[in-house]
C-alpha cells in the first residue's frame, strides 16, 4: 500500500467512532450497509485493532453457523469473555 492511500484509509477510518462501528457491525457483516458507510466501516476495522478483532469474532461465528461447523477455539474463548463481562455487570461500552 502506498503512503498516500494509507493516509486516505486512515482518514476514512477516523470518520467513525468505535461505538458507531459497533452499532452497524452486524449489518456490515450481513452486507446490509449502504455504499457510503460500508467502506468507512471497512477502513475503521483495518486501522482499529479492537474493532477488527470484534468483527473477526462475529465473522467467524457467522461462518460457523452458516456452515454448521465448529467456531474456532479462539472465537469461543472471546465469546465467553464477552459473556462473563456482561454477567459481572461490566457491559462493554465505548472504548474509544
Ligand atoms: Zn474501533
What separation in Å is there between the alpha carbon of 85 and the centre of ligand 1?
A: 19
The pLDDT assigned to 65 comes to 87
The pLDDT assigned to 40 comes to 95
Is 95 a domain residue? Answer: no
Number of domains in the chain: 1
The string of pLDDT tens digits covering residues 32-91 is 999 999 999 999 999 999 999 999 998 898 888 888 888 888 888 988 888 888 777 765
Say which residues have a Cβ less than 8 Å from residue 21's Cβ, sequence separation at least 6: 41, 44, 45, 48, 51
Contact 38, 49 (CB under 8 A): no
Is 74 a domain residue? Answer: yes
Task: Tell whether the model's pLDDT for residue 8 goes beyond 80.
Answer: yes
2: left (phi over 0), alpha (psi -120 to 50) or beta: beta
**Start-to-end CA span in the chain (Å):** 26
What separation in Å is there between the alpha carbon of 48 and the centre of ligand 1?
A: 5
Is 80 a domain residue? Answer: yes
Is 23 a domain residue? Answer: yes
Q: Tell me the three state secondary structure of residue 50.
A: helix
The pLDDT assigned to 96 comes to 47
Task: Tell me how far apart the alpha carbons of residues 1 and 7 are, in angstroms, rounded to a whole number.
Answer: 10
Q: Give the structural domain span for 39.
A: 3-87
What separation in Å is there between the alpha carbon of 17 and the centre of ligand 1?
A: 6
What separation in Å is there between the alpha carbon of 40 and the centre of ligand 1?
A: 11
| Average of per-residue pLDDT across 5-31 | 92
Is 65 a domain residue? Answer: yes
Kindly report which listed range (16-25, 27-36, 54-63) carries the lowest average pLDDT score: 54-63
Amino acid at each position: 500500500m502506498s503512503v498516500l492511500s494509507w493516509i486516505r484509509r486512515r482518514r476514512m477510518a477516523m470518520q467513525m467512532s468505535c461505538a458507531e462501528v459497533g452499532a452497524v457491525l452486524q449489518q456490515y457483516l450481513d452486507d446490509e450497509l449502504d455504499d457510503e458507510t460500508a467502506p468507512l466501516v471497512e477502513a475503521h476495522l483495518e486501522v482499529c485493532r479492537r474493532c477488527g478483532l470484534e468483527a473477526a469474532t462475529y465473522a467467524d461465528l457467522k461462518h460457523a453457523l452458516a456452515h454448521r461447523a465448529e467456531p474456532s477455539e479462539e472465537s469461543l474463548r472471546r465469546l465467553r469473555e464477552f459473556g462473563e463481562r456482561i454477567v459481572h455487570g461490566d457491559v462493554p461500552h465505548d472504548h474509544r
